[in-house]
Amino acid sequence: MVLAVAAMLGATALVPACQKAGGGDQSANGAALAASGEPVPLDRLSVAPLVRRVSPAVVNIAVAHPSPYAQNPLLRDPFFRRFMGVPDNAVKPRLSAGSGVIIDAGRGLVLTNNHVVGEGSAIIVMLQDKRQFQAEVIGISPGTDLAVLRIPAERLTAAPLAAADTSEVGDYVVAIGNPFGLGQTVTAGIVSALGRGLTPESGMGLIQTDAPINPGNSGGPLINMRGEVIGINTAILAPGSEGNIGIGFAVPASVVRSVLRQADRAI
C-alpha cells in the first residue's frame, strides 16, 4: 500500500554484530575499536542480531476491499454484467498488502496504518512463522494514519516501543516490512530529519528517513539500534511515481503511545 505523497515506508540500519573469525570475540574487538575512535572494519558490522530479535514481531497484512460493483444485485448475474459492459473480475474484492508490528503479545495487539486497513471487509495477519489469523479492528485514527488490530494468537513476540522520542538526526535505523507483497524484507538508513509535516497544516511531527521504502512497507516498524520501535512507517515522497527516492516518513513513538492509550479504553 502507498500514499500518493507518500507510500508507506520503513527505515534501516547497520549495527555492530558478533562474528567469529580466527577465534576471538569479534563483537568485543569491534566495540573496543569503536571506543578508541578507530574505524570498525566493515566485516564486523551487521544488523543480523537486531533483525533476529525483532523480526518475529513484524507481520504481513492482506486486506480484501469489497468492489463497489458487488453492491449492485443485478451485477451478480453474468448476463447483466455483459449487458452493462462490466468485466467479471470487477465484482471481485480488491486485494492489497501492507505491514504491521505486534506491540502487545499477551493481548495479540498489532499496530499498522489506517490506510492499510481502510474499509477492508477481511483483514488477514500472517506471522513470520506462517501462521495466519483474521484480525479484528480495535480502533483507527485517521488523523495519525494508525490502526490497532487484535488477533486470536498465542506464542507471540512483541517489539518494544521506545519510551520517548529521543532519536537524533543521523541515528541509524532499520525498517522491516512487506514491500510489494514480497514478504518480510529488511532495509537500513538513518534519521534524515525530525518534526516533518506532509502538509503545512499538519500538526504531527514525522520522522524522515532515507531508508529504501516501497508500497507494502506501510504499517511496518522503524527500529533503532536498541531494537525499539521509534516509529510506524507511513508514507514516502514519490513525485510522479510510486518508487522510492530516499524520502520516507514514520509516525513517531509518542503519537503511537497516545493512540494505544485510546485503544486500551476500547478493549
pLDDT tens per residue, range 76-100? 666 655 666 666 656 566 778 899 9
CATH fold, domain 56-150, is Thrombin, subunit H (2.40.10)
Average pLDDT over every residue of 27-50: 60
Q: How many residues does the chain have?
A: 267
Is 37 a residue whose pLDDT tops 90? no
Whether 58 and 220 have beta carbons less than 8 Å apart is answered as yes
Is 250 a residue whose pLDDT tops 80? yes
pLDDT tens per residue, range 168-179? 999 999 999 988
Rounded CA separation 177/180 (Å): 10
Q: Which residue has the higher pLDDT, 180 or 37?
A: 180
Which residues are identified as catalytic?
115, 145, 218
Is 28 a residue whose pLDDT tops 50? no
Residue 245: all three cell numbers together: 527516492
- SS3 for 9-28 is CCCCCCCECCCCCCCCCHHH
What pTM was computed for the model? 0.74
Domain ranges (residues) in the chain: 56-150
